[in-house]
Amino acid sequence: MPQAPTFIGRLAETVMGRRARVLGLAEPAPGFVEVDLRAEAPPGGWQPGHEIQVRATPTQGRRYSVRTVCAHDPEHVTVLAATSADGPGTRWILGLRAGAEFTVLTGRHRPLYEHGAPRLFLGDGCTLGTIDAYAGTEDLVVVEVPPDAVRPLAGPRPRYRFLPAGPAPGDALQDWLEHAAEDGELAHVDGALLLGHAQSLQRQRRTLVDHGILPRRAITTKPYWATGKQGL
């Protein structure tokens, strides 16, 4: 529900809303904001990868994902947001301050469908929180981010491979994927999660299937944004 009349947004908040308060904000890399939250838990409790929705404006909802849940405090969660877009969601994130209170919309956690192990994760900056939530130590993780974010993001994630994004979304990932497919670097993967830019996911899936690396059923795709679209 990226766009809805104000009264529908209010109704959704009444039914699915949880109160949340910003405990702190950090900038782990240029173009990224990590939001530290205390938020009332939904049924079943918060889980890494839990999807939430916020009302960025009275009529515009935007979705984000829980990156971590504190082991000692199940209502203390973090969200990692990329700030490369220029829409209501990004402006809302950039406007947050410690102590701010708002309502998050969420329900019981519905995990992404995951197939096989080890898996290939491909994503861009806005999917990094989700990838952190799901990826295991054996998985092959490749993430496309703005060039000046590569080094600060890679430091704490030595197992991930970060690619500097070019002018067109998904091109750096596609380039890497085609080389990896030809070089046999993907021979051991048993499943894939492709997250982020909708048009890029389709290209990536086609490459994996056409090179005979994975069957379609072993590939999960989850679009987070699309060229020419506001909100998803």
Binding site for ligand FAD (CB under 6 A): 51, 56, 62-65, 79-82, 84-90, 126, 129-130, 224-225, 227, 229-232
Nearest to ligand FAD by Cβ — which residue?
A: 87
CB of 53 to ligand FAD, least distance (A): 8
With contact defined as beta carbons under 8 Å apart, do 172 and 122 qualify?
Answer: no
CB of 84 to ligand FAD, least distance (A): 4
Closer of 82 and 153 to ligand FAD (Cβ): 82
DSSP 8-state class, residue 3: B
CB of 202 to ligand FAD, least distance (A): 15
DSSP notation for 45-105: ---TT-EEEEEEETTEEEEEEEEEEETTEEEEEEEEEE--S-SHHHHHHHH--TT-EEEEE
Closer of 180 and 224 to ligand FAD (Cβ): 224
CB of 184 to ligand FAD, least distance (A): 31
CB of 86 to ligand FAD, least distance (A): 6
Closer of 94 and 117 to ligand FAD (Cβ): 94
Distance, in Å, from the CA atom of 93 to the CA atom of 86, rounded to the nearest integer, reads 11
Distance, in Å, from the CA atom of 109 to the CA atom of 43, rounded to the nearest integer, reads 8
With contact defined as beta carbons under 8 Å apart, do 83 and 93 qualify?
Answer: yes
Closer of 91 and 211 to ligand FAD (Cβ): 91
Pure H helices in the chain: 6-16, 88-95, 128-134, 150-154, 171-183, 198-210
> What is the helix (H) or strand (E) element at residue 184, kind and residue range?
none
**In the beta sheet, which residues pair with residue 44?**
none
Closer of 13 and 51 to ligand FAD (Cβ): 51
CB of 117 to ligand FAD, least distance (A): 23
Closer of 56 and 140 to ligand FAD (Cβ): 56
The answer for residues whose C-beta is within 8 angstroms of residue 140's C-beta and 6 or more apart is: 118, 119, 120, 121, 161, 186, 189
